[in-house]
Structure 1
């Protein structure tokens, strides 16, 4: 059975993919960004991340497959954004979203979706500013065993947005969406997963930042973002490695990546960041946004333009060429959106980079 190679998703490059890289950079001035991994640098990140990797007989990789009709949406797992779909093309589309990087242990996981009217559809004169009767989202939870290529995919459950059933047979159904006529709809459902690992991100024991003074928190976060922008603008790969290690290592472990996979991913990332055309962009049109039930915070784009909507406010431009173009299969200037999330541990007062 053909398998899909999972590419890390902490850094979004147009289609929400992330790339990492590994080589020793020239020593540069350390930043003041707080992390829980002060000894990490570009020379040891692969080795240190690989220490968290274990081999299991069953390595389930979970995905939420979706079908959507006349809507755009955001998808969250345990209140962490994993996917956005804002497009001007077909009113109907389907795909799959891998979610292991937000599953830290076995058991119940909360899935939340936030829906928005599709607006203008390509090649259509109509503009849909509210939900239609036939607006819907369908989700199906599936998994495959990464350690057994011959094993069949497993389907666990399906979910359909609530509504009134107008017609139903063994082969088809017609459901009137309960959000018909509205401009926003949000709902949640639970899934149960079984993974062989138990991971403990730093924000697990963090403060609920929603209780802080918003202006004071925003000032702290802005300062942290400005420091992070300088790290990337200076192409300081030692600091890049240190500030991304917690998120990176957890994702590598949750997706069962081996040392060679980690090294390849890190190498690709360094190629991107150290490219002469890599340009960090100003922090504009942004809003303070909470994740993980208030334990994580970051700046997200504040716009209704579909090419930026639902994207992180920490981003860059790069002209894909030579080695990068060959690896990515794209060329010309493209945006790179990077999640930069922070938390404050219980009993502390300073932001820590996740």
Structure 2
């Protein structure tokens, strides 16, 4: 990797504070029979859009969506499952009209401190334990999702953290929903095109500069040590610097807002939930693989240019 990029990102751990007060918050998510998006403080931390066969249980670190100690919010957006269908000769994910009665939605949030070997050293207890409400089906007598039959449902709640750090994140961002949407989209596309060209040129130094603030906050939020930092540099190199990567053109996009309107990203309209910045490469087994890059931008108050925030 470019020496300047390594230097810029390789020493983030040296500025990490509050190691002795380390708390890593995780969201344990159980979803079955539906599509979903989970947001912490209106920032997306997990999602799934696709066929609804079976269920999934995952644990997601959420510290990067928590900017300071105190009250936080969680939200689960629930959608009907999608089916793989052929539309005009093209394989397409098509959503069903309503959420099915067998859908299950659960979220638990708790805090941990991890030891150097990755084991849990201390648990700070569960602060969210939510299960979507159910009702008894009149015909079968089984418990089913109370909100079945709706095209969309949203569950929300609040929780409190003892996060020791204080990140700027998007706190001082402008409300982008109040700006001229056509101008905002044009400027956003310019940023994406710039990053797309840097990837094609292998300009890792420019990418490191553009993402350094985000990476610094990422390191602090997850209490990086030197080992974590080395893993981040390797991930950065393998991601943005993927060898043999052919970038897709920017097309079929729409703007989507997060962070209570302070963050904006581009998502594809033809592949639900996918970012617009993407490319493909052939792996060692001669299989075609896709590489995507998810970015969230803000415009800080008093400024006019978009900045990468997450």
CA contact (8 A) 1:138 1:160 kept: yes
| CA displacement at 1:55 relative to structure 2 | 4.9
Q: If each structure's strand is expressed as a fraction of its own residues, which one has the higher value?
A: 2
Moved over 6 A (4+): none
> 1:246-278: per-residue Cα shift (whole Å, max 9, x none)?
111111111111123212321342244334312
Counterpart residue number, 2:153? 185
Cα distance change of structure 1 residues 174 and 346 upon mapping to structure 2, 3 Å threshold: farther
Q: Are 1:64 and 2:27 an aligned pair?
A: yes
SS at match of 1:265: helix
Q: Matched residues in 1 for 2:198 and 2:302: separation?
A: 27
Gaps of 5+ in 2: 85-94
Q: Are 1:132 and 2:109 an aligned pair?
A: no
SS at match of 1:347: coil
Q: Are 1:196 and 2:164 an aligned pair?
A: yes
Q: Are 1:236 and 2:203 an aligned pair?
A: yes
CA contact (8 A) 1:59 1:147 kept: no
Counterpart residue number, 2:305? 350
- Decide which of 133, 140, 146 is 2:114's aligned counterpart: 146
CA contact (8 A) 1:58 1:146 kept: no
Q: Matched residues in 2 for 1:311 and 1:300: separation?
A: 6
TM-score normalized with structure 1 length: 0.75
Counterpart residue number, 1:337? 292
Counterpart residue number, 2:217? 250
Counterpart residue number, 1:162? 133
Q: Matched residues in 1 for 2:96 and 2:54: separation?
A: 10
Q: Are 1:100 and 2:63 an aligned pair?
A: yes
Q: Matched residues in 2 for 1:350 and 1:236: separation?
A: 21
Cα distance change of structure 1 residues 222 and 241 upon mapping to structure 2, 3 Å threshold: same
Counterpart residue number, 2:259? 292
Deviates more, 1:150-159 or 1:337-346: 150-159
CA contact (8 A) 1:70 1:118 kept: yes
Cα distance change of structure 1 residues 43 and 96 upon mapping to structure 2, 3 Å threshold: closer
Q: Alignment RMSD, CA only?
A: 2.6
Q: How does 1:188-227 map to 2 (within 5 A)?
A: 188-201=156-169, 203-227=170-194
Counterpart residue number, 1:4? none
CA contact (8 A) 2:32 2:52 kept: no
CA contact (8 A) 1:105 1:195 kept: yes
SS at match of 2:15: coil
> 1:155-176: per-residue Cα shift (whole Å, max 9, x none)?
3331122344679xxxxx9654
TM-score normalized with structure 2 length: 0.85
